[in-house]
Amino acid sequence: MSLPRIAVIDDDIEIRDLIVGFFRPKGYELLLFEDPGKALKEISARENFCDVIISDLRMPTMTGLDVTRTLRDSGCSIPIVIMTAHQSAEVALEAIAAGAYDFVVKPLHFPQLQVSVERALVLNKIKSENETLRAVVASNKGTASGIIGKSPKFLHALDLARRVSNSTAHVLVSGESGSGKEVVARAIHQFGSRRHGPFVAINCSAIPETLLEAELFGYVKGAFTGAIDKRIGLFEEAKGGTLFLDEIGDLSPPLQVKLLRVLQDKTIKRLGENQSRLIDARVIAATHKNLRQEVESGQFREDLFFRLNVIPINIPPLRERREDIIPLSEFFLHKHAALNCVKISGLTKDACEFLLRRPWKGNVRELENLIERAVVLCRCTTIDVPDLNFEEEVMTRNGNPVASKESLLTSHRQFVVREEHIVPLEELIDKYVTFALELNGGAKDRTAKALGVDRKTLYRRMREMDEAKTH
């Protein structure tokens, strides 16, 4: 974690030294300026230059109020503490009106100055958290229910979800793992009249059969070992709302029978009691399996399948909705950049091409995980291919990760054509030399041999490439 940074603007060297002597042992980094003009230039040139500014009021070339007004006019929101020898309400009001956070009176009482600085740091943190929350909320308002997608297949599924949202019919959402089945189920809930009720979700494959029955139907005290008190089940918890049964295809045969009875009678019995209770929950089920095949193989009850499959909605895998990859990537980028309080403007063109080429076996979930990891590990203001290729970097050399041959071949497969135009020969040679070096782990002798040139030729080309980068 970086040290809190204080920029001190004062033409008095003794005051600057006293401030340094007080704050530096307490874990602060001090940035000292005698000339306010130079300080303004430095602070304006770099975002987040410091956390707090301490400025003297009276200086030969510029006053502390001038410094404050200039920074505020430029949009800089760094808290400014003004030091003044004039103990008057007028001066204090003028400083605050100019945009100063606080003011202290000379001779300095350093504990008081420290309190001002620490309060300013807390203010910074609150502002940062508020900006993060606003960014996350704004990113979730991109479309209805926070759903991102514009491919025809996905829009068809979303339109169907909207049309059935106010009905009481059971819905079966199918699609590969990570394709967004729960997102669509939540959309049905939010579009419909039950949106003011709870949305309760459970993954049927993640809980053992004995516990799943208790979770769904609830139990009374003493129903089984460990049942020390009564508990309502998820069917009752979802009263007035929606119960989402994910991975319904993994439900055991005994539970399939009980679920069928619940769907037919709209009643449940808690474990350990004989009393039937009416339920008021819409059931939406989801599966990554082909339930028709499961029925044919005897793994899933046919009558339960038809009861659940009143309105089938299929979610296409991400590889079949390429139009959604970049919008989803940008959404996840802004979301996780805000959550991690980092400044990342977007994806490079190469990164976008890399994302479009991937098979996405894990669908949207895999995409979000990849973007989140890239956001956390990225050292620049934009995400490029190496940031996204991190998961392929499984080998190491001298403690540093090295991309696998498979990932290199994937990332370089289309470098011959750019925007439907042939890449110039000189540029293509440079790209190919870089590719060959990466493929051979940076070994120049082996690379030269693979390219069919002598070492001197390779060294000369690499030197020319380096010189071209510096110009």
Run of H or E including 8: strand 5-9
pLDDT at residue 468 greater than cutoff 70:
yes
> Domain-by-domain residue ranges, the chain?
5-138, 154-316, 319-397, 415-471
Q: Tell me how long the chain is.
A: 471
Mean pLDDT, the chain, as a whole number? 84
- Encoded tokens for 228: 């020390």
Q: Are the beta carbons of 147 and 185 closer than 8 angstroms?
A: no
Which pLDDT score, from 0 to 100, does residue 437 have?
82
* CATH architecture observed for domain 154-316: 3-Layer(aba) Sandwich (3.40)
Determine the average pLDDT of the residues in 13-33. 92
Which pLDDT score, from 0 to 100, does residue 220 have?
83
267 vs 280: CA distance, rounded Å: 9
Which pLDDT score, from 0 to 100, does residue 2 have?
60
Residue whose structure tokens are 């060959």: 436
Which pLDDT score, from 0 to 100, does residue 308 have?
94
Which pLDDT score, from 0 to 100, does residue 94 have?
84
- Mean pLDDT lowest among 84-88, 168-172, 251-255, 276-280: 84-88
Of 365 and 445, more confident = 365
Of 189 and 444, more confident = 189
**Superfamily for 415-471?**
Homeodomain-like (1.10.10.60)
Which pLDDT score, from 0 to 100, does residue 392 have?
47
Determine the average pLDDT of the residues in 137-153. 64
Residue whose structure tokens are 């070339």: 61
- Encoded tokens for 417: 């054509």
Q: With the C-alpha atoms ordered 40, 41, 45, 48, is the resulting torsion angle positive or negative?
A: negative
Which pLDDT score, from 0 to 100, does residue 143 have?
46
Residue whose structure tokens are 């200039």: 70
200 vs 177: CA distance, rounded Å: 19
Which pLDDT score, from 0 to 100, does residue 239 have?
93
Q: At what angle do helices 64-73 and 89-98 cross, to 10 degrees?
A: 20
Confidence band for 365, pLDDT divided at 50, 70 and 90? very high
Confidence band for 137, pLDDT divided at 50, 70 and 90? low
Which pLDDT score, from 0 to 100, does residue 320 have?
92
Determine the average pLDDT of the residues in 165-181. 92
Which pLDDT score, from 0 to 100, does residue 467 have?
78
Same CATH topology for 5-138 and 415-471: the answer is no
Which pLDDT score, from 0 to 100, does residue 399 have?
47
Determine the average pLDDT of the residues in 370-390. 86
284 vs 202: CA distance, rounded Å: 11
Q: Fold for 319-397, please state it.
A: Helicase, Ruva Protein; domain 3 (1.10.8)
Determine the average pLDDT of the residues in 118-137. 72
Class of domain 5-138: alpha beta
